[in-house]
Chain A
Amino acid sequence: MSPQFLPRSVKDRVRLAPYELARQLAWTRREFLRCTAGIALGSSLLPSSLAARTGVAASKRKVIVITFGGGARDQETFAPEGQENIPHLMHELIPQSAFFTQVVNRGILGHYVATASLATGVYETINNFASLPPEHPTIFEYFRKDLKRPASDVWVVAPSNGFNRIGESSHRSYGPGLGARVILPKHLLTAATSGGTDYDHLLRDNYETPYYTPELGGNGFELQQLGTMLKLSVDDFKAHARTLSSPDELSVYIVRQLMRQLAPSLLWITMHDIDIAHAGTYSLYIEGIRRTDRLCADVWKTIQSEPEYAGKTTLFILPDFGRDSDDDAGGNGFQHHRTGDALSRTTWMMALGAGVREGVVFDRPMESTDLVPTLGSMLGFSAPLAQGKPIQELL
């Protein structure tokens, strides 16, 4: 084993136990936020019940989850030198949000498997690059089965064809027929344009593994549904797509159509532009962060402007995980998320909207798997197979 793979000049930092590093990261995020966004430490505030805060019955509530993908580090986001890349989060969203500084992902740091873990509340171990469903029930199945909701009430919009099976699990008590409808906007655009070259910039897929595009199966979205469900003609879709600059912009365009036409109660959006970092180009990684920041604010504005969502929607934004530290000689800084170091595992989450206290920060440790049981408690369904715990600060 070559010792050059392992940290040297920063060995003292690496020697800290992982939980100590995570705590340091969380503390640093809190200080950044306290100084720049003027938010308070949440643990000093008294709790009150969610129902009392929202005034909205659980059956009427809506939730939108955005994964801020694929992974961004503090120094390009919440650290002082990175805040210029996230002006919308810093100045528009965080002041209105409850911010959790220490969300630890103890699972596999691959985008599909990590997103599947977020959606099941269990650290999934499926092959990150295979077209496989999660092994444990997803939030979409819990939601639909417990609350007897139709398929049209739960949607996933995902950028990569590799996410086509995320809507429902292979679990025998749930699975087929109980999951979310999944829209893969790039798949839709490919079908609509029949391989035309004007849209290539919107069809980038899987930066880590160029060329690889899994064959679609499972719950694919059919082209004719553009018209019947999204009320979009192929020509309108193509014309608008021509004005967009990235796959995530295409996703958010589809999200807006979904919100206007179907107003699903549970909507899950997976961003992915940032993952261009795997190509090793720092400027494109930064561009991806800035675009994702803007798109998150766009979704929030849409929530405020759509009557079906305004006042009764809670928005969650969280990365699936971080990226490798510059200090870990085993990695190559921002490019990948392969070392499993504390920086790549420790990330954040913000919640804003109905029932959420504004401008508070919580820095106790929590896990990515806590999201599903939390949403269960908020929306009134149970997630018996999820491993995480409900986040009491949001209930």
Chain B
Amino acid sequence: MLNAMKDSGVIADYALFGAVAQMRYTEPVATLDADVLVEVPSAGGLNPLAAIYEFCADRGYQPEGEAVRVGAWPVQFIPVFSPLTQEALQQAETADFEGVPFRVVRADHLAVIALSVGRAKDWARILALLESGSVTRDEIASLAKRHGLSDAWQRFEARFPDEF
């Protein structure tokens, strides 16, 4: 559906992020929904997600709270909201999901987006990515610095100096 949405021009691009994307690298984790970063071509409207909801409804995918139910998953569409998420979307990788290509945010961007949000579960996400070896502390530090998140990274390093 995401690829069809992109082909139809409803979105300019998309990439999975959050826990579903994280699971490419780590062990399975508990999550209630799937997060999708989207770039909407015309950001001028009051609701940049209206066309997405309409596209989904036309195909029988019904809203469920803030999300849209697609198969087993409530899917939450989140427009790019910062230079960091814009870059994450542009540099996303294409992963194979049983023959279907999916755009997925890279591990280093997942870690730094988590750093920017900064909840306990986001710090746990960074630790899981570090433990998986999919990203290094140096890579996170470099990306965090480029996006003005050096202070947040230093706080993380002070809290978890020895792990991985």
Q: Real complex partners, A and B?
A: no
